[in-house]
């Protein structure tokens, strides 16, 4: 997608930057072996030497039911390759891409349902989040998905199966039992506070909790304390606080005013939500700030916004692969209560304004943001405008939110999680060699 800047004085088209990642080259989410990624200016952990013998092998299971699972899989893939370039990482979607036909059809309904009826999704989520219903779901659909995972395990022979999806943990354990040699099962929870009971499988070797609140939920659901680690939510390692002078340099790069308070309005990868109304209320009249609107893959919305002559300087973007740089260039992020977007803003040390949430797993995130002090809940456009006006004054409210965000930031969570994964791989590989 190209970049468009609308300042009321015409439209300028900037050269597109292609998105290049192995997971993007496999949009269907099929099993994909991932190599080392291109170098980035972000600080990186020192490579971990590969133990003697064959390199560690990791199978990451995700599904495209929401962009957060794919983003977590991508972040962990990159972190594993940075820590150990010899590590063989396979990424697969056993639900939508490779699962049985009925499972594929049901899983593919996720995006249409949340876009058309969030209330309906809330009902589905809560009804499935009970012991009897979840057991019934596993009984009906588990066997077909398990067979897909068994096939993946037999083909790729992983030392660790790492799951970033709540519906794949129990069936992954069953697949391990059917495939002979010892292998580790690692679950990385990608919801911040409360989450579906599918995440908490007590037989997993390691369950990674993103927050202390999430760790307590896992404990209440009888995951053994020694199998839970509080390591943060995995985000791309490029999400980090800006270096001195970097914020202004990035604004120059994007054609923005270096000194204006900068508001980043995000619609997620799909470009859903009330982004059009939010940008209009922030940019229709001349204001002291500037706006960056990211429409994701919603090309219709991008074109519509790009041709509006806003009185406030506004940069309109489609789907981008430089979100870390955009957040570092910004002073506040406006988004719905998705855990990934919140974690990315936190990793960068930028306050968050929450405009809405998905009933079910996202609703507790609103209280988490507000009570932690690094953001506010602004569901109405008028409330959003008033909050931005207060923050743009640069007074104690924005300063305190920024301080809280910096305190809670965990930009290297992906590296910490990847390190634990490699330790598990070494342990299980040694166990397998001992039993031969």
Mean pLDDT by 10 residues, the chain (436 residues): 40 34 48 51 42 81 79 96 96 74 57 60 61 65 83 94 92 89 93 86 93 94 95 95 96 96 82 81 96 92 92 95 96 94 95 90 91 96 96 90 92 96 90 63
Residue 237 confidence (pLDDT): 95
Rounded CA-CA distance 290/260 in Å is 6
Tokens describing residue 161: 């199966």
Q: Which residues contact 159 (CB under 8 A, 6 or more apart)?
A: 56, 57, 58, 183, 184, 424, 425, 426, 428, 429, 432
Tokens describing residue 353: 């304004």
Longest distance between any two alpha carbons in the chain, whole Å: 73
194 near 217, Cβ under 8 Å?
yes
pTM of the model: 0.82
Tokens describing residue 336: 């719905």
The DSSP bridge partners found for residue 418 are none
Residue 8 confidence (pLDDT): 40
Establish how many alpha carbons lie within 13 A of residue 71's alpha carbon, considering only the half-sphere containing its beta carbon.
Answer: 25
Rounded CA-CA distance 237/396 in Å is 29
Establish how many alpha carbons lie within 13 A of residue 3's alpha carbon, considering only the half-sphere containing its beta carbon.
Answer: 19
262-315 pLDDT tens trace: 999 997 655 456 899 999 999 999 999 999 999 988 899 999 999 999 999 999
Domains contained in the chain, CATH given: 3-17+238-408 (3.40.50.2000), 32-234+412-434 (3.40.50.2000)
Tokens describing residue 191: 């919801």
117: helix, coil or strand?
Answer: coil
CB atoms within 10 A of CB 410: 19
Cα–Cα distances in angstroms (integers) from residue 140 to residues 18, 133, 134, 135, in the given order: 41, 11, 10, 9
By C-alpha distance, which of 182, 180, 93 is closest to 145?
93
DSSP for 30-67, please give it: --EEE-PPPP-SS--PPPPPPPSSSPPEEEEE--SSSH
Distance in angstroms between the alpha carbons of the first and the last residue of the chain: 53
Rounded CA-CA distance 154/175 in Å is 10
Residue 63 confidence (pLDDT): 85
70 near 235, Cβ under 8 Å?
no
337 near 362, Cβ under 8 Å?
yes
Residue 99 confidence (pLDDT): 54
The H-assigned helical ranges of 166-309 are 169-178, 212-220, 246-253, 275-283, 299-306
How do strand 3-6 and strand 314-317 relate by DSSP bridges? Answer: antiparallel
Residue 390 confidence (pLDDT): 95
Q: Give ∠ CA 402-408-412 in degrees, rounded to 5.
A: 115
């Amino acid at each position: 997608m190209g970049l468009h800047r609308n300042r009321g004085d015409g439209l300028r088209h900037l050269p597109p930057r292609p998105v290049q990642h192995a997971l993007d080259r496999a949009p269907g989410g099929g099993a994909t072996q991932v190599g080392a990624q291109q170098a980035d200016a972000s600080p990186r952990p020192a490579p971990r030497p590969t133990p003697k013998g064959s390199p560690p092998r990791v199978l990451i299971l995700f599904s495209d039911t929401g962009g957060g699972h794919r983003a977590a899989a991508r972040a962990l893939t990159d972190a594993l390759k940075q820590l150990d370039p010899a590590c063989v990482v396979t990424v697969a979607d056993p639900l939508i891409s490779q699962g049985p036909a009925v499972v594929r059809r049901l899983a593919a309904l996720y995006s249409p349902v949340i876009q058309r009826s969030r209330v309906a999704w809330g009902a589905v989520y809560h009804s499935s989040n009970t012991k009897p219903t979840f057991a019934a779901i596993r009984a009906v659909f588990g066997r077909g998905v398990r067979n897909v995972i068994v096939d993946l395990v037999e083909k790729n022979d992983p030392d660790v199966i790492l799951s970033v999806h709540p519906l794949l943990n129990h069936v992954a354990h069953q697949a391990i039992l059917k495939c002979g040699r010892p292998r580790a099962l690692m679950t990385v929870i990608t919801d911040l506070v409360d989450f579906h009971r599918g995440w908490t499988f007590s037989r997993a070797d390691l369950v990674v909790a993103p927050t202390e609140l999430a760790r307590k939920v896992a404990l209440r659901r009888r995951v053994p304390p020694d199998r839970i680690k509080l390591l943060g939510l995995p985000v791309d390692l490029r999400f980090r606080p800006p270096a001195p002078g970097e914020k202004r340099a990035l604004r120059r790069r994007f054609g923005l005013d270096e000194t204006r308070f900068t508001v980043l309005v995000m619609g997620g990868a799909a470009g859903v939500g009330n982004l059009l109304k939010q940008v209009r209320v922030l940019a229709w009249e001349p204001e002291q700030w500037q706006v960056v609107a990211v429409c994701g893959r919603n090309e219709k919305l991008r074109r519509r916004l790009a041709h509006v002559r806003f009185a406030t300087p506004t940069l309109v973007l489609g789907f981008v692969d430089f979100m870390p740089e955009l957040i570092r260039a910004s002073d506040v992020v406006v988004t719905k209560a998705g855990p990934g977007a919140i974690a990315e803003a936190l990793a960068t040390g930028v306050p968050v304004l929450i405009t809405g949430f998905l009933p079910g797993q996202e609703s507790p995130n609103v209280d988490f943001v507000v009570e932690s002090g690094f953001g506010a809940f602004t569901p109405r456009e008028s409330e959003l405008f008033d909050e931005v006006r207060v923050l743009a004054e640069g007074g104690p409210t924005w300063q305190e939110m920024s301080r809280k965000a910096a305190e809670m930031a965990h930009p290297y969570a992906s590296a910490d999680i990847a390190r634990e994964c490699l330790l598990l791989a070494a342990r299980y590989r040694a166990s397998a060699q001992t039993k031969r």
